């Protein structure tokens, strides 16, 4: 498994409303599959996020959506970016992603993070805990999930979770890949070094080279070959024809996200992503297009512009 070029769908507010909502999601996934993307990802949230919209805007439940996309596509990998660990019992999550892998004939990736959106927890009645406690939970969850996705029956009794010979059948593959998402150097990167196959780094662009170096240090601390943990970076992307269009598009992006927004002609977009992300030592790129990804042809244009950068 590797994610060289992923397309994330973070926005479900489309013209046409709920009647055509999933049709629009499916159309984006099919365009991605046909234009050089290797992975389609959705957010694991129940409310829309600040910076993309308001909490009351449409948000599809992640694993129901991915299961439907598994039946609608044939080759593209499917994942969350990323699953909030706080929302699900870890053994049940292992079962859920294994079922997605069966439905998709081996195309599932488990994306996982500690969880952070307090409003969802508060309004939906999910325990939020402190920052430290959420990472304690993530650590314990990985000690359960990792073996369950690798044909083992873990025995584990921790502060937050316990399982006793947990079984996980059916499974399509002997091992389902695990991707962690985040930028924490002390907690997230150490967990990635121990448990993950892929690390999606989400950070300000100027911090990326240092994050890559620290992640390598975490791997070396446990004598793991850095080449065995693939990396990617999440960015927003939009192809335009003129600088005026680029300026207008960037005005719609929240100021704290503009650093990770790549807007320009196809050639400019590709060159910036190469020099600022891939040349920093990152293996792949995941892009979203919250402003216009639902428009037919947009995902295709992004795939055609970016796939040559990551061609093996």
Q: Which residues of the chain have pLDDT under 50?
A: none
Question: Which token pair is 265?
Answer: 């002609």
pLDDT at 158: 97
Residue 55 is part of a domain; what is its CATH number? 3.20.20.30
Instruction: Record the pTM.
Output: 0.95
How many Cα atoms sit within 13 Å of 234 on the Cβ side? 23
At residue 312, the pLDDT reads: 54
Structural domain boundaries enclosing 156: 5-310
- Our separate counts of H helices and E strands in the chain read 10, 12
What's the domain count of the chain?
1
Rounded CA separation 47/42 (Å) = 13
Burial of 150 (0-12, 13-18, 19+ CB in 10 A): middle
Q: In whole angstroms, what is the distance from residue 205 CA to residue 127 CA?
A: 32
Rounded CA-CA distance 168/149 in Å is: 8
């Amino acid at each position: 498994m590797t994610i060289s070029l992923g397309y994330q769908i973070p926005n479900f507010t489309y013209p046409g409303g709920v009647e055509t909502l999933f049709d629009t999601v499916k159309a984006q996934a099919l365009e991605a599959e046909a234009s050089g993307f290797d992975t389609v990802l959705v957010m694991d949230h129940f409310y829309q996020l600040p910076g993309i919209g308001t909490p009351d805007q449409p948000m599809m439940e992640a694993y129901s959506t991915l299961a439907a996309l598994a039946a609608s596509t044939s080759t593209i990998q499917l994942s969350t970016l990323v699953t909030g660990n706080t929302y699900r019992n870890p053994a049940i999550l292992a079962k859920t992603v294994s079922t997605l892998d069966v439905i998709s004939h081996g195309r599932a990736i488990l994306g996982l993070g500690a969880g952070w959106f307090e409003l969802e927890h508060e309004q939906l009645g999910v325990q939020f805990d402190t920052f430290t406690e959420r990472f304690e939970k993530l650590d314990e969850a990985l000690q359960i999930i990792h073996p369950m996705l690798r044909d083992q029956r873990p025995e584990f009794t921790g502060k937050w979770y316990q399982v006793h010979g947990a079984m996980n059948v059916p499974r399509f593959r002997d091992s389902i890949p695990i991707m962690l998402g985040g930028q924490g150097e002390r907690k997230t990167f150490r967990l990635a070094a121990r448990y993950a196959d892929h690390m999606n780094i989400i950070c300000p662009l100027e911090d990326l080279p240092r994050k890559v170096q620290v992640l390598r240090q975490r791997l070396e601390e446990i004598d793991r070959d850095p080449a065995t943990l693939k990396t990617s970076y999440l960015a927003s992307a939009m192809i335009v024809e003129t600088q005026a269009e680029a300026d207008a598009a960037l005005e719609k992006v929240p100021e704290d996200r503009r650093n990770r927004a790549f807007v320009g002609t196809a050639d400019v977009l590709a060159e910036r992503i190469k020099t600022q992300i891939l040349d920093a030592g990152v293996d792949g790129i995941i892009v979203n297009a919250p402003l216009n990804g639902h428009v037919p042809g947009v995902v295709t244009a992004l795939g055609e512009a970016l796939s040559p950068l990551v061609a093996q």
